[in-house]
Structure 1
Amino acid sequence: RLAAEVSSALSVEYQQRYGLDIPEWRVLATLGFRNDACSAQYISHCTRTHKSTISRAVTALMARQLIERIENTHDRREFKLRLTRKGAALYQKLIPRLLRREQEILSCLSAQERKDFAHVLGKIEKSLGLVQTSGEADAKQGY
């Protein structure tokens, strides 16, 4: 519930100003954070978003020329996604706003509590074996 509320609070920044929905932001943010091309499968896995939802978001972002496909020269059925210049510029505009909003949300915690919170979240992520690399996600089936 908390994750959904935080996501909703942050989504105001990109929905109202830029017309992005949550899945579209997840695709844009994943590509921007990685600063490297990756598969839709990777995005689906690391954001825990169903592949059909990611597929719709990818289609919408491509139509707005915010992301582009890079085909595998050896297998044309395979492709990766990356931000276009327009998409990268939008990501760079949004990140400072979202980080400020995140700080507002976390302002109820002391500096030590924030540090402890980040540490605990990291431990939980590690315990759950969350995917860290594009290759790991691409190697998994069903995403």
Structure 2
Amino acid sequence: MTDRTAESPRSGPAAAAAEPSIGAAHAVLELERFLPYRLSVLSNRVSGMIARIYTERFALGVTEWRVMAVLGRYPDLSANEVAQRTAMDKVAVSRAVARLIESGRLQRDTHGDDRRRSVLRLSEGGYRIYDEVAPLAMAFERRLLGDMSDEERAMLFRLLDRLDELEFRAESEAGD
């Protein structure tokens, strides 16, 4: 096993020993204990490991796979709804949608009740990819969380749900 202290935000004695000396005249942001940083780095590392699977097999980027994953679970969403569900930039989602339509992995149709609204869904080719990648992603998650007890996994997801609630409330209050 390699020491990843230098490349990852670990807390504890190893991280404390690696802390740079910061003068009193500057603000201190302890990245090792700053939640947005920790979540971002962990998300990037985990997503990167899964991305290798679909990038090598299907030449898909992370944004394209996330669009496909959302539409595999929730078909008939607009591009804006996909962006909302993933918290991704609308422009990035729009570009990914265009590439996926061009490659035959997505279809764009008009909504049945509102002809002004376009909705997206996976094509047959898109579902073939989704049906292959989704089980691999779930197997990866099982391996990643495999050393956690059932109670730890349940607590992790409760805490993630709670963080989601708190972020939503903070965002709502910031908009007031």
Q: TM-score, normalised by structure 1?
A: 0.81
In structure 2, what is the equivalent of residue 41 of structure 1?
Answer: 80
Q: What is the root-mean-square deviation in Å for CA atoms of aligned residues?
A: 1.9
Whose radius of gyration is greater, 1 or 2?
2
Deviation track 1:67-117 (CA, whole Å, cap 9, x = no partner) reads 111124676553111111221221111111111111112223222211110
SS state at 2:107 partner: strand
Aligned pairs (5 A) from 1:10-29 = 10-29=50-69
Aligned pairs (5 A) from 1:102-113 = 102-113=141-152
In structure 2, what is the equivalent of residue 98 of structure 1?
Answer: 137
2:154 is aligned, of 101, 115, 120, to 115
1:5 and 2:45 aligned = yes
CA distance in 2, matches of 1:43, 1:96: 21
Give the fraction of aligned pairs with identical amino acids, expressed as a percent: 29
Change (3 A) 1:113 1:58: same
Task: Report deviation, 1:129.
Answer: 3.1
CA distance in 2, matches of 1:111, 1:92: 27
CA distance in 2, matches of 1:6, 1:31: 21
CA distance in 1, matches of 2:51, 2:151: 27
> Which gives a bigger RCO, structure 1 or 2 (Cα 8 Å, sep 6+)?
1
SS state at 2:65 partner: helix
CA contact (8 A) 1:10 1:102 kept: no
SS state at 1:129 partner: helix
Letter in 2 for 1:18: F
CA distance in 1, matches of 2:62, 2:97: 12
Aligned pairs (5 A) from 1:47-86 = 47-72=86-111, 77-86=116-125
Letter in 2 for 1:26: R
List gaps (5 residues or longer) in structure 2: 1-40, 170-176
Q: Number of residue pairs matched?
A: 129
Change (3 A) 1:98 1:74: closer
List gaps (5 residues or longer) in structure 1: 131-143
